Structure 1
């Protein structure tokens, strides 16, 4: 196994791999020159494990390994293809959920063919909330007319200040609105992720996705100064303190697959926004006969990090056993965790 990059979720993956009886961690790649040569276990906060991190991509590609857990901050088709061509399978949270119909599909299929390798995506959204779980629920109903899902994120305990600033926390509200350059950048990323989930669900149910639209883009100003202790950010009164987006996939001109994503710096900022820490992070509604409704997960930031890391590590065995190519979760063996 190679762990590629060493961000928040990747550090938890290093910990899981270091303690695993099923996998051997043979290399760790980092973008940060300050981490070059440092023991990966020390980077992950678990003590030395005898695997130094490296910034040498060529050396990592030359390392004998079955699979790479690729955790870039954003989708990187070129790097993904390069790893696949080296003969290594790839599991990543930034793409690979359903690539058919995207500009990258053909090139990545060729890379898989050249390397005899397989690519898939994993995580919580997509990878759980708006694709895997709705499809699981679909097996218990008929005549499905649509899917609605929502993820809520309360960021008091989230430590990555750069991610929060990227979303717009603490920025002037007008710099975060639907017509802002920030919205253009974020919207492109969200369409990449949520489009894959919408295509996967509609395609699995025999439907054709017409398009994905941004159907809501709401920004709330802070009613007072809000300090986020984990990240060290202070959001000044009047600047952006909450964001809610909705992305809807249309079938035959009608809304069919909607994902709502909510980020808040504090609770109770407005009607309809997260009011309590006990509010579920994930909500799913499947409109069918019968209609099904599931609310779950009260994990907090640490729990969500663990969930994502565990899913990616659990996908290693199935992706290594799968037929080469870009594979969706529907084309992999059933994925389970490990017993304690």
Structure 2
């Protein structure tokens, strides 16, 4: 018998006819939704067994009541932090016997997020982790399926969902206080994009820390997380002899700043101290090695999966959690020197 002559397997429509329900009801049962009464659910499951309707995900659900799959909606795959968090989520999910279904969101608008949610609603997933890195989930017109457990990373969700994130504000405070403690009169800040939730928290904490110490608050420069934007803004900062301390909102922008300072003849840290945020593996190999705020992306990913599976298994949401940060001091930061207000010192070659 040829492939074209083979009898097709039973479809969802066949199951619906056998059970006397709508195709939508069959889909809800197949996807583990809770909004189907027990009698109807059993009738649909009986029809699936009778007809031999056994896609892999449905077979798992028939045995365990779950699909052992986690959906992940992610804003960008190019971000260092997002990729480290995704790696940790995949590892933690695998350890728990779950797979992940990834839906990238190239443009983090409300519509794009809603489309991604709709796509996952059609998949056989037990819950969703959302890593959007933007101020989106406090918008009332983003509808998430009420029966689907959701954990949010690097965004805000009010009190509707569990949020797991790095303590962005604490990290920015550590960086700013470190530079002030070295005698710098103020700290200039190269922020991440305005739409970024984490960038906003770092910027607000930087400003609040300066004000708390009675220091001047310089104008913020806004980058796009790339070393290129760090370099462009770094040239502007290097041209100002009053700039002696710079806090960049991530390590990649800090790398661009270091390059700009070197090209402009400003020595680091003798003339200008630089602090980043993330503690990328490469940060210790920057020249000079970069003082930075360490984020524990693995812990964020692990806690996200734990919180989601707790809700899947018990129906109860865990409290939101902030993962602490720590300051890693290396050679790119040092005491302010009286001579550092001049820009004429030669760069080390």
Superposition TM-score tier, normalisation by shorter sequence: 0.3 to 0.5
Q: Which has the higher contact order (CA 8 A, sep 6+)?
A: 1
Question: Counting helix residues as a fraction of each chain, which structure ranks higher?
Answer: 2
Question: Counting strand residues as a fraction of each chain, which structure ranks higher?
Answer: 1
TM-score between the two structures when normalised by the length of structure 2: 0.39
TM-score between the two structures when normalised by the length of structure 1: 0.40
